Amino acid sequence: MSSTEAVKTRDNSKVLDLVYIAIGAALIAICSWISIPTAVPFTLQTFAVFFVLLALGGERGTIATLVYILLGAIGVPVFAGFSGGIGVLLGNTGGYIIGFLFTGFIYILFTKFFKKNIVIKIVALVIGLAVCYAFGTAWFMHVYMRTSGEVGLITVLGWCVFPFIIPDLLKLALAVVISRRIEPVIK
């Protein structure tokens, strides 16, 4: 392969990465719009984050998640309920949205340092989800107590975590199944 062909191949690869990242960010946005409103809305957002990480890989998936968050931060209505703006990220549920980045970082670490088999990927996503829950809950409590008064940890977990555990694990299972089916196409 000549140096010109190598440069062209590398450039095409970078363009393809950008396209995948854009599609990943768009998928997360679309899935966040599918929601059932509660204190922390039930959405397909976590499914999309899991799917994007599994299908695109840790780096591209995490960048897609970051792009999604940045789009929302500047006011593009990509969050649940067609909302957007820095106020959403600084509000009660913003910690859960930002926590998706931790899920991505943990996924990257696990898939870099351990075998890239499906068990490791699932373990990484489950641990990442737990960290997302922890960060989001701490954020929720901080914001809620500043604006509305005292609230206990168990109460917040009852509002923001316990009702989501089983649905999020089902979303993870669905993301695994679908990503494995399309894996040959994306590679």
- Ordered domains of the chain (ranges, CATH): 3-186 (1.10.1760.20)
CB 50 within 8 A of CB 172: yes
Tally of helices (H runs) and strands (E runs) in the chain: 8, 2
Q: Is 74 helix (H, G, I), strand (E, B) or coil?
A: coil
Q: Write down the pTM of the prediction.
A: 0.92
- Give pLDDT tens digits for 20-45: 999 999 999 999 999 887 767 789 99
- Give pLDDT tens digits for 66-117: 999 999 999 999 999 899 999 999 999 999 999 999 999 999 999 999 988 9
